[in-house]
């Protein structure tokens, strides 16, 4: 049974964000160069001891969300600071790239809140980093979403040839390696005829 259980890797769990006010004009954006993502929904419990035994009580759900990334010049990193400075609502999606349903959609958490802290470290011998903490409102929602083609390309690039990249040839005359290519290739390759060179 245990051998059938698939393990999820932290590398394949990524966050997208969007200022809520921009929902009608732009898609959620990947936070570039993420290094860690901590998602911690929790509910405090307490027990009152009575003569008939313990009576448990629970508090409302609280969700801690913290994302670290290498500081960069991007709209996303500026939007995170805007949420903090202007107290603007932000949407967050946590997407699990290795968990998909029968329709090919990705499992994700969706939540809304604000950025409550944005720590920026600038050591002289390292990259500048950001550690962003979110205050999440209400209960995070589970669901399935579709990533547009350009979103998937942000996460994994495809093989490119050295030719010119155009809309007709988006890989620059390159062809990605597939498993069936193992052991293929020859030093005796003859280029196909391209016409009479004497003309």
What are the residue ranges spanned by the domains of the chain?
A: 2-148
With a cut of 50, say whether residue 67 has pLDDT above it: yes
Q: What is the DSSP string of 104-132?
A: SPEEEEEEEEEEEEEEEE--TTS--EEEE
pLDDT digits (tens, 9 = 90+) for 163-196: 666 667 766 677 766 777 777 766 666 666 655 5
What gap in Å lies between CA 111 and CA 136, rounded to an integer? 7
pLDDT confidence tier of residue 199, bands split at 50, 70 and 90: very low
**CATH architecture for the domain at 2-148:** Roll (2.30)
Residue 120 pLDDT greater than 90, yes or no: yes
130-134, 135-139, 156-160: which has the minimum mean pLDDT?
A: 156-160
pTM higher than 0.75, yes or no? no
Percent of the chain, pLDDT > 70?
76
Percent of the chain with pLDDT over 90: 50
């Amino acid at each position: 049974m245990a051998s059938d259980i698939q393990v999820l890797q932290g590398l394949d769990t990524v966050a997208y964000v969007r200022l809520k006010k921009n929902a009608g004009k732009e898609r959620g954006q990947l936070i570039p160069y993420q290094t860690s993502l901590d998602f911690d929904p929790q509910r405090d419990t307490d027990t009152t001891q009575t003569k008939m035994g313990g009576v448990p009580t629970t508090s409302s759900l609280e969700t801690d969300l913290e994302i670290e990334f290498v500081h960069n010049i991007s709209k996303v990193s500026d939007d995170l600071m805007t949420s903090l400075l202007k107290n603007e609502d932000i949407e967050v999606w946590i997407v699990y790239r290795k968990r998909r349903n029968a329709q090919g959609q990705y499992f994700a958490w969706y939540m809304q809140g604000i950025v409550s802290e944005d720590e920026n470290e600038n050591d002289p011998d390292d990259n500048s980093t950001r550690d962003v903490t979110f205050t999440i409102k209400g209960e995070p929602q589970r669901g399935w979403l579709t990533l547009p083609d350009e979103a998937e390309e942000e996460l994994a690039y495809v093989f490119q040839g050295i030719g010119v990249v155009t809309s007709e040839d988006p890989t620059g005359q390159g062809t990605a390696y597939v498993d069936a290519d193992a052991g293929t290739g020859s030093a005796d390759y003859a280029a196909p005829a391209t016409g009479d060179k004497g003309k």
